[in-house]
Amino acid sequence: MPYIINYLTKIQFGENAVDELSSELELLKVKKPLFVTDRGLSATGLIDRVISSARLDHDACVFDETPANPTEAAVEQALTFLRDNACDGIVAVGGGSSIDLAKAVALLFGHPVPLRQYAAIEGGAAKITTDVMPLIAIPTTAGTGSEVGRASLITMKDNRKLGFLSPYLIPSVAICDPCLTLGLPPFLTAATGMDAIAHCVETFLSPKVNPPAEAIALDGLVRASRSLVEAVENGENLTARTDMMMAALEGAMAFQKGLGAVHSLSHALGGVHELKLHHGTLNAVLMPTVIRFNQPECEEKYTRLKEAMGLAPDDDLAAAFEKLNVTLGMPANLREMGVTEAHLEPLAQWALEDHSTATNPRVPSREDFQRMLEDAF
């Protein structure tokens, strides 16, 4: 039986939690939801499992055009589809891309366009009100934690990947069923798992004062450290899958405290449309470089991170992440992901301006970001 958690929002967590979808739609008074997902999930039939749990008395409305990195154009397309079908709520099914796109659609349903005016770096958070469409988030990966996050990351038409942040963007309900992750391929398990780890690490290192969030982040890191490799190597291990789903959930519960330079850089790189770079994989590749940059400001906290990861006090934390990346089969550098020197030119400035930079424990300059990109290249 799933159990209910109330922290930021209502969370149904546990094996077969997806069976609670029908009752949650009823509680929200949603009669005709739009299911937002991607083509990959549509092809696996997993979306059919979710739709059947909704127990609808009509054909389901499904938008499955979510791109790997959600775009402003896709948000507009989904919003038109929602309005054309007179839907009164949204069920987002998939990874962070589908959930983030659904958040942006829920926002624009009750707010005037253009979307960009609500971006955090444009001072738009204050413009976001309670007039957001009901949204149920059902993750099928264990990484982004977007199901309980207040952020939506959208790549704009000018290739900038911008964050939209508001407590009103946190989904109305999150349904976290680790059974839905059992079919996730090893590489995606690894990449999304490293995203969860990055959230736990960066939010713990954020200089903002929030001891409960730090405790949650450390618990998430403990779970991910003991279970990620097992989940990659034995994807049918439900105990490991449950640990990873909780680690992803906890990482996002905690990142109300803010993230850091790993995400500043991965957001910048994620805006390079033609490469379609995976966010979690970027976080994995960038983590050792940023860990080294932040070390002068974080020695005490690094000791606690190493303890959570089961490392010895004198182990090098950045080297430990490099070793984990090798074990998981992550790319060794950005170059292996298809990034070229020509792509690097605007990225340091974009990273500097990213909303995550404000909570990095060591204040980075544009030149620092340039050096980090070169080091990871």
* Tokens of residue 328, six digits: 């998981």
The 10 Å Cβ neighbour count of residue 71 is 22
pLDDT value at residue 17:
97
Right CATH for 3-180 from 3.40.50.1970, 1.10.8.60, 3.90.1150.10, 1.10.10.10: 3.40.50.1970
Residue 6 has a pLDDT of: 63
* CA separation for the pair 305, 315 (Å, rounded): 11
What confidence score (pLDDT) does residue 3 get? Answer: 62
Do the domains spanning 3-180 and 184-376 agree at the CATH topology level? no
B/e letters for 306-329, b = 16+ CB within 10 Å, e = fewer, are bebbebeeeebbbebbbebbeebe
3-class secondary structure per residue, the chain: CCEEEEECEEEEECCCHHHHHHHHHHHCCCCCEEEECCHHHHHHCHHHHHHHHHCCCCCCEEECCCCCCCEHHHHHHHHHHHHHCCCCEEEEEECHHHHHHHHHHHHHHHCCCCHHHHCHHHCCHHHCCCCCCCEEEEECCCCCCCCCCCEEEEECCCCCEEEEECHHHCCCEEEECHHHHCCCCHHHHHHHHHHHHHHHHHHHHCCCCCHHHHHHHHHHHHHHHHHHHHHHHCCCCHHHHHHHHHHHHHHHHHHHHCCCHHHHHHHHHHCCHHHCCCHHHHHHHHHHHHHHHHHHHCHHHHHHHHHHCCCCCCCCHHHHHHHHHHHHCCCCCCHHHCCCHHHHCCHHHHHHHCHHHHHCCCCCCHHHHHHHHHHHC
Q: Which residues contact residue 51 at a Cβ distance below 8 angstroms, ignoring those fewer than 6 apart?
A: 35, 60, 62
Question: Which amino acid, 256?
Answer: Q
| Domain range 184-376, its CATH number among 1.20.1090.10, 2.70.98.70, 3.40.50.970, 3.30.1330.10 | 1.20.1090.10
pLDDT at residue 5 in the model: 62
At 240 the pLDDT is: 98
> For the chain, what percent of residues have pLDDT higher than 90?
87
| Residues paired with residue 270 on neighbouring β-strands, in sequence order | none
pLDDT digits (tens, 9 = 90+) for 248-300: 999 999 988 999 999 999 999 988 878 889 999 999 999 999 999 999 999 99
pLDDT at 45: 83
* Domain locations along the chain: 3-180, 184-376
Residues of the chain with pLDDT under 70: 3-6
Give the global pTM.
Answer: 0.91
Tallying the residues shown for the chain, one arrives at: 377
